[in-house]
Amino acid sequence: MGERYIRIVELSGSNPLGSIKLKNSEFLIYRKMILNFALSFWILMFGFRIFCYAQETKEPNAAGQFYPQDKDSLSRQIDNLLQRAAPEEIKGDIFCLISPHAGYGFSGQTAAFGYKLIHARPYKTVIVIGPSHYYGFNGVSVYPGGKFRTPIGDLEIDSDFTKKIIDPAQNISFIPQCFDKEHSLEVQLPFLQKVLTDFKLVPILVGDCDFKTLSSLAEGLAKAIGQRKDVLLVASTDLTHSYDYQETELIDKLTLGYLEKMSPDEIYAKLRDGTIQICGGFPVVAAMLTAKKLSYDKLKLLDYTNSAEVTRRKIKGIWTVGYACAIIYAGESEKSKETMLTTNQKKRLLEIARKAIEEYLANGKRLDFKEDDPQLTSISGAFVTLHNRRELRGCIGNIIGQKPLFETVSDMAIASASGDPRFPALSQEEFKEVDIEISVLTPLKRITGIDEFQLGIHGVLVKSGFSQGVFLPQVATETGWSKEEFLSQLCAHKAGLSPDAWKDAKTELYIFSAQVFSENPLSTS
């Protein structure tokens, strides 16, 4: 009594090296030391494992099989597919693509419908969720960091985002083996690289999952996305696989009906009982759950075909696979409701702007504001404009939201007061005479013709190469310019381009609207 033994074994096995006789008090101390060492060792090795993978560049496995290995050949093929695609224009925010993942010769034309529709939209993070074809596992695997390589170039993983969604307690972890041979994610990447710029990747593979795990994944994704409007989710999936093309078409028709109902729990149940077939069914369920949590509840089918149609071999006994492309989006009416600010919210933003400038001019410090209003904490672009006796005294803003709205307003207020290169920094005395105006912006939308641009309602961003410039919507009403004058002045005086550069097909034009309100008087537009 009062004594215990600790057996010492090799770290690599169970061969005892000896034993030590200890008193109870000593035993407890040593046991705690050993447990702490074991825990630290496990954390170190697990962290090292993730670190090693997070630093690497993952080479492509599907190049030369599912799509061309040569960069120029691949680029030309995608250009041709996009040129032939003719999707119906969608008004509203596109949050999710459901896109096929077969070889480009089979499903590439169908996939092109979705990618053409999102061309040049300002997404900064793209989540791609696909099924694991070659490595069986239970749960969800998130690639934590590093880069994915395609013949077109490297894509950086959004490691800040992946950290937020990895949760081993919810069966969402990193299983490197499932990415080794997988093509379902990779075939989406060259398309993304051709239609988008300056975005980071979040690669996710889904194994066998219960509905609870998929709901946990959706909850984590929705929480990490928050109010951001610059996140795209791609659910990579083919449809029915069958030796009978007629059976493929019949089941796919049934499957597409369930998809259009946007009922993820019902789809999950039908996948489990075999009523419908979706190769990446669980990724699609997770995508739908995420979309609905973020109020994207409309699904539109853009294109459908199958391998028998593509090869023109409608022969019984020939392996046939179905391909569909669809989008999940929110209509413009829903988007407008989300972006409308109340009078109290406007007053609070104006108060934040004034206090931020006062503190900065007095002490050179930035105030740390705290807000819990969902509208004020949403990610949004904004401009802060300063007027002194109706004369412009400073105007700085962010077109694309990168921070919560209240933080953007605070930062842009200080920048307008002290960093507008057209004016000297404000003095404390002059600031007493200044009125503050705030413009809260909607997401950018690329246009192909000026008919879509409404003078006095839309602001415009013009971009050509490395040159770009922007006018807010109120510039038109303040100047009385015509639409053509507005665009010519924008090109010449804000972007440093020729006045008629907006007529050039290579020049990119983006429109946005804004809620504009000021201190004197408080007004809305």
Average confidence (pLDDT) over 334-352: 77
Residues 396 and 464 in one domain: yes
**Residues near 252 by Cβ (< 8 Å), separated by ≥ 6?**
239, 240, 277, 304, 306, 322, 324
525 belongs to a structural domain: no
For the chain, the average pLDDT equals 87
pLDDT digit string (tens) for 503-512? 998 999 999 9
Q: Is residue 475 part of a domain?
A: yes
Do 236 and 120 lie in one domain? The reply is yes
Q: In terms of Cα–Cα distance, which of 280, 336, 232 is closest to 132?
A: 280
CATH value at residue 157: 3.40.830.10
Confidence of residue 9 (pLDDT cuts 50, 70, 90): very low
Residue 524 counted as domain residue: no
Give me the amino acid identity at 359. E
Position 523 in a domain: no
If pLDDT is split at 50, 70 and 90, which confidence band does 226 have? confident
Residue 170: band (very low, low, confident or very high) from pLDDT cuts 50, 70, 90: very high
**Helix (H), strand (E), coil (C) string for 321-359:** EEEEEEEEEEEHHHHHHHHCCCHHHHHHHHHHHHHHHHH
Residues 172 and 302 in one domain: yes
Domain boundary among 336, 364, 399: 336
- Percent over 90 (pLDDT), the chain: 71
In this prediction, residue 65 has a pLDDT band, given cuts at 50, 70 and 90, of very high
- Mean pLDDT along residues 379-395: 91
Residues 141 and 160 in one domain: yes
Look at residue 189 and tell me whether its pLDDT is greater than 70. yes
Higher local confidence (pLDDT), 1 or 341:
341
Q: What is the pLDDT of residue 335?
A: 42
pLDDT band at 183 (very low <50, low <70, confident <90, very high): very high
208 and 291 part of one domain = yes
Is 504 within a domain? Answer: yes
Quote the pLDDT of residue 486. Answer: 94
Q: Whose structure tokens read 């290579």?
A: 506
> Residue 361 pLDDT more than 90?
yes
Flag whether pLDDT at 488 surpasses 80.
Answer: yes
Q: How confident is the model at residue 336 (pLDDT cuts 50, 70, 90)?
A: very low
Range of the domain at 361: 341-518
204 and 295 assigned to the same domain: yes
| Same domain for 40 and 69 | no
Mean pLDDT along residues 367-383: 90
pLDDT at 387 over 50: yes
Residues 35 and 131 in one domain: no
For residue 353, which of 362, 366, 335 has the smallest C-alpha distance?
Answer: 366
Q: Which residue has the tokens 């209509």?
A: 331
Give the pLDDT score at 457: 85
Q: How confident is the model at residue 115 (pLDDT cuts 50, 70, 90)?
A: very high
d(CA 142, CA 131): 12
Q: Looking at the 3D structure of the chain, how many domains does it have? A: 3
pLDDT at 6 over 60: no
Residues 345 and 229 in one domain: no
Look at residue 13 in the predicted model and tell me its pLDDT: 36
Range 392-399 average pLDDT: 92
CATH number at 463 reads: 3.30.700.20
Instruction: Look at residue 314 and tell me whether its pLDDT is greater than 50.
Output: yes
In this prediction, residues 480-498 reach a mean pLDDT of 92
Whole-structure pTM value = 0.59
12 vs 391, more confident:
391
pLDDT of residue 5: 43
Q: In this predicted model, which residue has the larger pLDDT, 10 or 62?
A: 62
**Rounded alpha-carbon distances, angstroms, from residue 470 to 90, 229, 378, 474, 491:** 24, 20, 23, 12, 9
pLDDT of 27 over the 50 cut: no
* pLDDT tens string 44-53: 444 444 444 4
- Between CA 67 and CA 378 the distance in angstroms is 39
Looking at the structure, tell me whether residues 317 and 393 fall in a common domain: no
Contact 132, 205 (CB under 8 A): yes
Residue ending a domain, choose from 313, 336, 359? 336
Residue with tokens 């057996």: 7
Mean pLDDT (whole number) for 169-186: 97
Average pLDDT over residues 286-308: 94
Q: Under DSSP, is residue 252 helix (H, G, I), strand (E, B) or coil? A: helix
Say whether pLDDT at 43 is over 90.
no
Q: How confident is the model at residue 439 (pLDDT cuts 50, 70, 90)?
A: very high
Q: What is the mean pLDDT of residues 55-60?
A: 86
- Judged against a pLDDT cut of 80, whether residue 35 lies above it is answered with no
Same domain, 197 and 286: yes
* pLDDT confidence of residue 331: 67
Residue 440 has what pLDDT? 93
User: Does 12 lie in the same domain as 61?
Assistant: no
Query: What CA–CA distance (Å, rounded) separates 37 from 31?
Result: 10
Select from 336, 353, 372 the last residue of a domain.
336
Tens-place pLDDT, residues 234-292: 999 999 999 999 999 999 999 999 999 999 999 999 999 999 999 999 999 999 999 99
> What pLDDT is attached to residue 482?
87
